[in-house]
Amino acid sequence: VMQTKNTEKVSNGDLGFIRYIKETEKGKRIGLDFGENRQMEYSVEDLANLSLAYATTIHKAMGSEYDIVLMPLLKAHYVMLCRNLLYTGIVIRQIIWSRFRQFIWMCSQVQIAYWSG
């Protein structure tokens, strides 16, 4: 899971694991481990500050300063493929590209596409 709001021990963008869910007299409690001796216990209401983290945006990955970010460049997402996004991914540290042809095509896309959805 990813923390989406700063607290005393956990910052926005920190990743953690759900370790347990238990029922107490105060209601359900969820045990989380954010590493570096940061074990937290959240109430159901505190879950509003978490989101699933099986995938994240390149900007959140940049803020988390990961050593490696996998950035799949798929033709199915051609609307979003542009140099600005690629630059954001490169400054992270290291990127493994899934397809070289999409990478070359992405470099040629200067404009930023805006859409409402």
Tokens 């759900």 found at: 18
- pLDDT tens digit sequence for 45-91: 999 999 988 777 777 776 666 666 777 778 887 787 777 777 777 76
Q: Is the pLDDT of residue 108 over 60?
A: yes
13 in Cβ contact with 63 (< 8 Å):
yes
- pLDDT tens digit sequence for 13-47: 888 999 999 999 989 999 999 988 899 999 999 99
* R_g over Cα of the chain: 18
